[in-house]
Structure 1
Amino acid sequence: MKFGRTTITFVSVTQDLTALDRYKKPAKLRTGTDVPGCRFRPLPATETVDETGDKVADPWKATCPPVPAVLAAKANDEVVVDGVTYQIDGLPRVFNNATGPFKVTVTCRRDTA
């Protein structure tokens, strides 16, 4: 089932415990999977001001088919749409019908300072 014409790359972010950086932290491995037939749309943005300056949270919502890359997405993973990287915000929400999952929604955000 297609929900739109956008192809979203779901990037799984994991740690490579065998490759440490100079601070002895594990390197991050990024593995991308393209998911066609998605819809990606903006949600209302919020702005906060603190002692470091203005910060804008730019949330977006993706509606995708229930493919393994989308169902396995986690909060520390990323999505790439039209060359822009967004952080996944929370877990994907799976919608079921009588035959099983038929769509998944994923909320993402891009923070700017």
Structure 2
Amino acid sequence: MKKFLIFVLLIVALFTTDIEMIKQPRQQFLEKSIAMLSESTKVQRPTAAARARTRIDQQIQLTDKQAAHLDEELANDLTMKKFFQQYCIEREMSLYFFTDKLENICDIIESAMQRTGSL
């Protein structure tokens, strides 16, 4: 326990000192560590909205107005959840999508949300 306490005090002293010999290598080490961590987080998986939009484009033929409306509704996961709640769960009437097309869109959105765990 004594050794651990001494080790912790030594680490704290190294990170809080303003001695130039220690400060410069410490700063470089921290910058490299942060750069490495930020690079590892750059691998981003597609969002549920992006997945759904891609699958809808592949499977359903849309008019220009429908595509523009769907782009707005699937801009991000939050707006997609609102769209899903409003038109798929509560079954409100949509001005752009009807019957089979709306059901297919709802199925695609639901599967995308399940895959990404955002349902």
Same structural fold, with TM-score higher than 0.5 when normalized by the shorter chain: no
Q: 1 or 2, which has the higher strand percentage? A: 1
Band of TM-score, shorter chain: under 0.3
TM normalised by structure 1 equals 0.22
TM normalised by structure 2 equals 0.22
